[in-house]
Amino acid sequence: MASLLDQLRTLSAVDLAAKLGPFTDCTSNQAGAIAFAELSKLGSDGKPLHGKLISESIQLAHWLFGKQTDATLEELAVELMMVDLSVQIAPYTTGYLHVQTNPKLSYSAQQTVKNAERLVSHFRQLAPGLDTGRVCIKIPATWEGLQACRELEKTGIATLATTLFSLEQTALAAHAGCRYIAPYVNELRVHFDPSYTDASPSLPLCGAAQHYLSSKPGNKTYVLAASLTSVEQVMQLAGIHHITISPPLLAELAATAAATWPGAAEVGQVLKTTKTTTAATATPAPAPGGSGGCGNGASTLGSLPGVYATTTNQLGAETQRMMLEAAVSDEALWRMAFTRAEGGAGEVKLVQAINIFADVQHRLEDMARRADGGVAAGG
């Protein structure tokens, strides 16, 4: 009997874990659920499960450290660990291997470009036989981060705009030529605070972004929905280009028969209910149980002062599209548009996500620092 996972695969590309593979893409970043948690695992002997990977990453980081001036020893070690984890998963995927840049560089285009280029070079060093065309660099969707994406795409390095919470970020990512955008359905906080629930999940934004991108001639940017917390959310997003799913949700999808699942009517509802991203005559339907906010998928460029004083719902689709297109070429206009989007909710969620990623980056660097002491003592 076909499972929900079988049904989903007929509608969307499914990304992430090897256990139920093969999968299209896999991701490795500073989010504790993926990188820190994996590297922190202990074996039956009480020693780090990935002790060999960690020690070898530190040894290689020492060798590389003296050959560059852009990263600390600990930052290099963390990069190498992330890349090595991706290399191990590569046999279970057919598409891109996603690795995220250092979140502490989120507001520097130049340093982010250097970080991304270094990550690609790590792949070449750790897996000489791997086609680096399969590497996709995940970069937080700040103005600076998306300018870095623009430069990297020009050199042939694929990029993904992550921590995306608005159409303003979507439009700029497409203008930069990003290969993917990753709208976060739930705030990143939900994965770190068990008592917290996102009251306004951004399900409709995923659909609105896909409609917007699909309507652009020559578009090469695709939606990769991320930060999902339930089977219901996953199935509502069926039809979105790509969906990143955690191992627990994958297992639940694989174990649930599609024919008897009570939520069958919800399958693919996001794309069915959202209109084109710039459609102003009808606001996209809010997510089930949600209360609007950043999750309603509508642009608020129309709330800007002066010429942009008209409210979003009074603007025609073409006018809204023109506003989005104008903002992507004007840093000040884009920053204000993003700040004003949904009353600032998107910007708040972006800053929160970068803070969480930066905190985990520090924890990973601390892990490398402690392990380096053990490597030195053992050597």
Q: Which residue has the higher pLDDT, 25 or 166?
A: 166
> How far apart (Å, rounded) are the C-alpha atoms in residues 250 and 244?
10
**Tell me, what's the pLDDT at 276?**
40
User: In the chain, how long is the greatest CA-to-CA distance?
Assistant: 69
The closest of 366, 362, 346 to 163, measured between CA atoms, is 346
Residue 59 confidence (pLDDT): 96
Q: Which DSSP helix (H) or strand (E) runs through 271? A: helix 269-273
Name the token pair of 278: 């710039």
pLDDT, tens digit (0-9, with 9 covering 90-100), for 306-365:
333 333 444 566 777 788 889 999 999 999 999 998 889 999 999 999 999 999 999 999
The answer to whether 234 and 321 are in contact (CB under 8 A) is no
Q: Residue 184: beta bridge partners?
A: 226
pLDDT digits (tens, 9 = 90+) for 126-154: 999 999 999 999 999 999 999 999 999 99
Catalytic residue among 41, 52, 67, 138: 138
Under 8 Å between Cβ of 350 and 142: yes
pLDDT tier at 182, thresholds 50, 70, 90: very high
Residue 5 · residue 14 · CB < 8 Å: yes
Tokens representing 233 are 């959310």
Residue 126 and residue 132 in contact, taking contact as beta carbons nearer than 8 Å: no
- Rounded Cα distance, 202 and 286, in Å: 8
Tokens of 358: 């930066």
Q: Are 275 and 284 in contact (CB under 8 A)?
A: yes
Task: For each of the domains in the chain, give its residue range(s) and CATH number, in order of start.
Answer: 4-378 (3.20.20.70)
Q: Is position 138 annotated as part of the catalytic site?
A: yes
Per-residue pLDDT at 374: 66
Residue 280, classed as helix, strand or coil, is: coil
Average pLDDT, the chain: 85
Q: Average pLDDT, stretch 156-179?
A: 97
pLDDT digits (tens, 9 = 90+) for 322-337: 888 899 999 999 999 9
In DSSP terms, which residues pair with 243 in a beta bridge?
14, 225
pLDDT in tens, 8-43: 999 998 875 444 455 565 655 444 447 787 888 888
DSSP state letter for 88: H
